[in-house]
A and B are shown apart, each in its own frame.
Chain A
Amino acid sequence: MEKIRYYDIRYVNGTTTSIQTENGVIENAGSSFFGKAFFRVLGENGWGYYCASPFDMDNKKAKEACIQKAAVSSRLAGVHAEIADVPFGTPRSWICSAKEQAAAPLEEKAGQLLQLEATAKIPEICSTSARYSEQYQDVIFEDCNGYSAKSSVCRTLFTVSAVANRGSDMQMNYEQEAVVGPLSLTDYIPYGEKCAKRAVELLDASAVSGGRMSAVLDPAIAGVFAHEAVGHASEGDAIRDGVSVLGGKIGQRVGSPLVTIIDDPSMHGYGYEPFDAEGVAAGPLELIRHGIMNKYMHSRETLAAVGSETGEAGHARAEPGLPPLVRMSNTYIKEGDASYDEIIAECRNGVLLIGSRGGQVDPGRGAFQFNAKYGYLIENGETTKMIRDVSLSGDILSVLHNITLCGKERKMSSGMCGKGQSVPVSDGAPHVYLTEAIVGGGQ
Chain B
Amino acid sequence: MSEVDIEKILSYGEKFADEVEVFILDYTDISLEQREMAVSSVFEHAGQSIYVRVVKDNHIGVSGTSDPSRWKDCLEVAISSAKLSEPVTGWTGFPEKSALPKGQDPFDAKITVTPDLAAEYLERMNAGASAHPEARVVTAEVSLLAGVSTVANSNGVHYTRQMSDISLGMDAICDNSTGYDSDSSPFLERINPEKIGEQTSFWATASRNGVNVETKKYDVVLSEHAVESLIFGLFSDTVNGKNVLTGKSVYVGHLGEEVMSPSVSISDVPMDKEGSAWKRFDTEGTLTSDVEIVKNGVLSSFLYDAKTASQAKTISTGNAHRSGNGATYIDPHCMRISAPVSDVLEKPCMYVREVIGAHTANPLTGEFSVEVANAFFAESGRFVQPVKKAMISGNVFDILRGDVSISAETKTFDNAVVPKMRISGMQVIG
Contact = CB atoms under 8 A, between A and B. Distances in A.
Interface of A: 16, 18-19, 22-23, 25-36, 46-54, 69-70, 73-74, 76-79, 81, 106-107, 110, 126-127, 129, 163, 165, 168-172, 207, 210-211, 241-243, 245, 321, 323, 357-362, 364-371, 388-391, 393, 395, 438-443
Interface in B1-58: 32, 35-36, 38-48
A133 B66 CA distance: 19
Q: Which 4 A-B pairs have the closest CB atoms?
A: A440-B369, A30-B81, A127-B247, A371-B360
A211 B246 contact: no
Interface in B368-384: 368-371, 373
Interface in B360-397: 360, 362-365, 367-371, 373, 389, 391, 393-395
A280 to B, nearest CB: 19
Given A127-B248, A243-B138, A367-B389, A35 B178 contact: no
Interface stretch (B67-75, B94-102, B181-189): B67-75
Interface in B308-343: 324-327
B64 interface: yes
A73 B356 contact: no
A228 B293 CA distance: 37
Interface in B230-260: 246-248, 250
A318 B102 CA distance: 42
B41 A172 contact: no
Given A245-B176, A393-B391, A172 B84 contact: no
B77 interface: yes
16 contacts: A30-B325, A32-B324, A53-B67, A69-B44, A73-B43, A79-B35, A107-B84, A171-B364, A243-B171, A323-B43, A362-B178, A364-B138, A389-B362, A389-B369, A393-B357, A439-B429
Contacts of A207: 367
Nearest to B357: A369
B246 A23 contact: yes
Contact of B138 (A31, A242, A358): A242
Nearest to A47: B41
Given A129-B246, A210-B427, A243-B173, A441 B369 contact: yes
A78 B38 contact: yes
Contacts of A78: 38-40
Given A30-B62, A127-B248, A76 B365 contact: no
Given A73-B115, A127-B248, A367-B371, A29 B85 contact: yes
Contacts, number: 237
B192 interface: no
B65 A77 contact: no
B178 A442 contact: no
B363 A391 contact: no
B62 A210 contact: no
Q: Classify the interface of chain A: helix, strand, loop or mixed.
A: strand
Contacts of A27: 85-86
A64 B99 CA distance: 47
Contact of A370 (B324, B325, B360): B360
A301 B91 CA distance: 54
B138 A360 contact: no
Nearest to B328: A28
Given A52-B46, A54-B70, 9 more contacts: A32-B63, A32-B324, A73-B43, A106-B80, A170-B250, A210-B215, A388-B367, A393-B357, A393-B371
Contact of A440 (B61, B63, B73, B391): B391
Given A54-B66, A76-B42, A358 B360 contact: yes
Interface string B386-430: 000101011100000000000000000000000000000001010
A215 B373 CA distance: 23
A22 B224 CA distance: 35
A81 B84 CA distance: 52
Contacts of A53: 47-48, 66-67
Contacts of B39: 46, 76-79
A365 B70 CA distance: 48
Most-contacted residue by chain A among B38, B68, B365 (CB, 10 A): B365
A442 B393 contact: yes
A359 B173 contact: no
A106 B369 contact: no
Contacts of A389: 362, 365, 367-369
B359 interface: yes
A243 B139 CA distance: 10
Given A47-B41, A73-B43, A440 B370 contact: yes
B247 A358 contact: no
Contacts of A79: 35-36, 38-40
Contact of B176 (A358, A364, A368, A371): A364
Contacts of B178: 243, 362, 364-365
B363 to A, nearest CB: 7
A365 B180 CA distance: 12
Nearest to B177: A365
Nearest to A52: B46
Contacts of A388: 367
Most-contacted residue by chain B among A16, A18, A32, A393 (CB, 10 A): A32
Contacts of B115: 73, 76
B357 A391 contact: yes
A440 B429 contact: yes
Contacts of A211: 215, 429
B78 interface: yes
A420 to B, nearest CB: 9
Contact of A172 (B35, B86, B248): B248
A243 B177 CA distance: 10
Contacts of B85: 26-29
A47 B40 contact: yes
A368 B371 contact: yes
A132 to B, nearest CB: 12
A107 B325 CA distance: 19
A241 B64 CA distance: 38
Contacts of B171: 243
A318 to B, nearest CB: 12
A74 B42 contact: yes
B280 interface: no
B60 interface: yes
